[in-house]
């Protein structure tokens, strides 16, 4: 039987074991709690990891999609950046040519930016009604409300990613569209670069200033009235003045529609004096008579005769012609063919101004030659192709549908085919007049051979219904065309 001392030792050991066991239990509980915390943290981390992994995979898919169809955006304010006159004057054909040249110009800018594989997306926003009005005043296009529409439509349809958009005729319409398109496309990964054509107006500074120095993202297009403030943005600048009007051109900025076109001779040298030079551009290829081509007939690839371009006379010129013709009718043969063999000609042979001669030519050319495009007569003064902008041969145009839509590009100059004039000149030979031994359709042989003549008992107005409705005026000529 243990002694008392041994019992005390055993009791002390038992107490010590109890205390130790409690400590162990406490330690175990602490360990278990920490383990639970670790499990929870692990679960959270795994969840975060899985989410991050999913986002990364999604980003990879998006990045792959963005690299699939990269493009550059060409964003232009069409009210400030107006295509050069020869594009506008050529109408639908000019729209196609403008789109092609713009496409080529942009593509030449891509290799140095390592964007060779990018497609070209073009958005031009403008006020079509206001553009039509201003360009119509410059006599580049017709005078109706949407005369520039054929150009814009052709521009849009000539390239699959090109759009010339009518932003509307209210103030700031184009500005609003351009700003929103810039913000939208700058946030799209597939849009690798923006070529911005709105540097004519400082109002766009706030739009591009956040991209200061980021020439890898934005390039400015120099044309029209380039505001020098844009030069301080440390962005690339490409000169597109061969395509768009320079600051010396007539005012076409739609933001200031009240500004009148220049009226002084110096100021108007690039506007009202444009038609004979600017409208007859390479795209229209209007025939020009040069010394080596004198007397020859210009024809196109289809063998159709072309007429030399004559700028449309002004209303004041028509009025002056009316006033002159009301005093004494002009001899068409003398003025248009250079000679009149009738010594008793009753019509006027006195000198006239170049402006009045131009009016007479235009009036005569508004009537079709009986042989149409097949005519090869040097002396023929009637029309063989309609030169009116946006005319399709309907309504009042006397030239008829067949003399519209003719390709005006000259491919050959041919020798004229004239009749034997020693005894007679017939319509079957020269394609124009019936002239037999001095008679014109049975008229008295002393009557002048007048391209516009009829028996003098019949008086006619200077302008037919179509010309009168367009130019107004009264007066008379020496007869209707036959």
pLDDT at 451: 34
How much is the CA Rg of the chain, to the nearest whole Å?
40
251 and 349 share one domain: no
Residue 377 included in any domain? yes
Please say whether the beta carbons of 90 and 131 come within 8 A.
no
pLDDT at 342: 86
Residue 383's pLDDT band (cuts 50, 70, 90): confident
Residue 58 included in any domain? no
Flag the least confident range among 244-248, 256-260, 363-367. Answer: 256-260
203 and 177 share one domain: yes
Per-residue pLDDT of 320-333, as tens digits, reads: 888 888 888 888 88
Q: In this model, does residue 475 exceed pLDDT 80?
A: no
pLDDT at 453: 36
116 and 210 share one domain: yes
Q: In this model, does residue 215 exceed pLDDT 90?
A: yes
Backbone angles phi, psi at 162, to 5 degrees: -105, 135
What's the rounded Cα separation, in Å, for the pair 134 and 261?
Answer: 8
270 and 397 share one domain: no
Q: What average pLDDT score do residues 372-383 get?
A: 84
pLDDT at 216: 94
381 and 243 share one domain: no
pLDDT at 288: 64
Angle between helices 92-109 and 149-158 (to 10 degrees): 40
What's the rounded Cα separation, in Å, for the pair 219 and 197?
Answer: 9
pLDDT at 323: 87
Domain limit, last residue, from 243, 278, 313: 278
Q: Which residue has the tokens 């639908």?
A: 92
Reference 406, options 428, 416, 391; nearest CA is 391
pLDDT at 183: 94
Q: In this model, does residue 103 exceed pLDDT 90?
A: yes
CA 463 to chain CA mean position, Å:
33
Beta bridge partners of 186: none
Who wins on pLDDT, 355 or 105?
Answer: 105
Give the count of domains, the chain. Answer: 2
353 and 425 share one domain: yes
237 and 302 share one domain: no
Q: In this model, does residue 159 exceed pLDDT 60?
A: yes
185 and 217 share one domain: yes
Reference 305, options 382, 250, 235; nearest CA is 382
The model scores a pTM over 0.85: no
343 and 205 share one domain: no
Residue 334 included in any domain? yes
Who wins on pLDDT, 95 or 173?
Answer: 95
Domain limit, last residue, from 238, 262, 278: 278
Written as six digits, the tokens of 117 are 């594989």
Per-residue pLDDT of 126-148, as tens digits, reads: 999 889 988 888 888 887 878 99
Per-residue pLDDT of 447-469, as tens digits, reads: 333 333 333 333 233 334 444 44
- β-pairing, 424-425 with 435-436? antiparallel
pLDDT at 462: 35
Mean pLDDT (the chain) is: 75
Domain limit, last residue, from 232, 261, 278: 278
125 and 260 share one domain: yes
pLDDT at 354: 85
Angle between helices 128-137 and 149-158 (to 10 degrees): 120
Q: What average pLDDT score do residues 62-89 get?
A: 86
pLDDT at 274: 30
Q: What average pLDDT score do residues 100-107 get?
A: 95
Element of type H or E holding 164: strand 162-166
322 and 267 share one domain: no
For 94-120, b/e burial (b = at least 16 CB within 10 A) is bbbbbbebbbebbeebbeeeebeebeb
Element of type H or E holding 66: helix 4-66
Beta bridge partners of 236: 219
pLDDT at 72: 96
Which domain covers residue 460, as residue numbers? Answer: 285-482
Who wins on pLDDT, 316 or 103?
Answer: 103
Flag the least confident range among 114-118, 242-246, 358-362, 395-399. Answer: 395-399
Residue 285's pLDDT band (cuts 50, 70, 90): very low
CA dihedral (237, 240, 246, 249) in degrees, to 10, reads: -150
106 and 225 share one domain: yes
């Amino acid at each position: 039987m243990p002694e008392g001392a041994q019992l005390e030792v055993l009791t002390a050991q038992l107490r010590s074991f109890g205390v130790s066991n409690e400590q162990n239990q406490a330690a175990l509980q602490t360990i278990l709690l920490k383990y639970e915390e670790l499990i929870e943290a692990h679960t959270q981390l795994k969840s975060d990891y899985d989410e991050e992994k999913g986002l990364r995979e999604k980003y990879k898919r998006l990045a792959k999609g963005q690299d699939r169809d990269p493009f550059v955006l060409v964003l232009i304010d069409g009210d400030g950046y107006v295509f050069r006159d020869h594009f506008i004057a050529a109408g639908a054909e000019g729209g196609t040519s403008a789109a092609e040249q713009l496409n080529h110009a942009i593509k030449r800018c891509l290799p140095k930016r390592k964007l060779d594989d990018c497609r070209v997306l073009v958005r031009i926003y403008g006020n079509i009604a206001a553009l039509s009005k201003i360009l119509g005043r410059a006599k580049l296009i017709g005078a109706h409300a949407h005369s520039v529409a054929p150009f814009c439509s052709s521009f849009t349809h000539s390239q699959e990613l090109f759009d010339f958009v009518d932003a509307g005729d209210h103030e700031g319409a184009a500005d609003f569209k351009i700003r929103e398109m810039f913000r939208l496309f700058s946030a799209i990964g597939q849009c690798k670069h923006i070529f911005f054509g709105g540097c004519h107006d400082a109002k766009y500074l706030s739009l591009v200033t956040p991209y200061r120095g980021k020439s890898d993202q934005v390039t400015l297009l120099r044309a029209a009235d380039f505001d020098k403030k844009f030069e301080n943005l440390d962005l690339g600048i490409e000169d597109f003045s061969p395509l768009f009007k320079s600051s010396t051109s007539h005012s076409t900025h739609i933001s200031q529609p009240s500004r009148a076109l220049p009226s002084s001779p110096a100021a108007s040298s690039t506007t009202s004096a444009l038609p004979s030079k600017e409208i007859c551009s390479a795209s229209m290829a209007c025939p020009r008579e040069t010394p080596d081509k004198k007397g020859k007939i210009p024809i196109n690839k289809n063998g159709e005769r072309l007429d030399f371009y004559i700028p449309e006379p002004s209303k004041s010129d028509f009025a002056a012609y009316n006033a002159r013709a009301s005093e004494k009718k002009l001899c068409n043969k003398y003025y248009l063919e250079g000679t009149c063999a009738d010594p008793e000609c009753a019509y006027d042979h006195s000198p006239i101004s170049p402006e009045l001669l131009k009016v007479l030519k235009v009036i005569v050319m508004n009537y079709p030659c009986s042989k149409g495009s097949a005519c090869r007569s040097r002396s023929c003064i009637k029309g063989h192709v309609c030169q009116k902008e946006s005319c399709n041969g309907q309504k009042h145009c006397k030239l008829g549908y067949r003399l519209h839509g003719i390709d005006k590009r000259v491919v050959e100059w041919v020798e004229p085919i004239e009749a034997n004039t020693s005894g007679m000149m017939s319509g079957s030979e020269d394609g124009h007049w019936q002239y037999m031994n001095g008679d014109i359709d049975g008229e008295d042989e002393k009557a002048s051979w007048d391209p516009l003549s009829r028996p003098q008992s019949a008086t006619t107005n200077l302008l037919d219904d179509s010309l009168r409705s367009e130019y107004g005026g009264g007066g008379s000529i020496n007869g209707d065309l036959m």
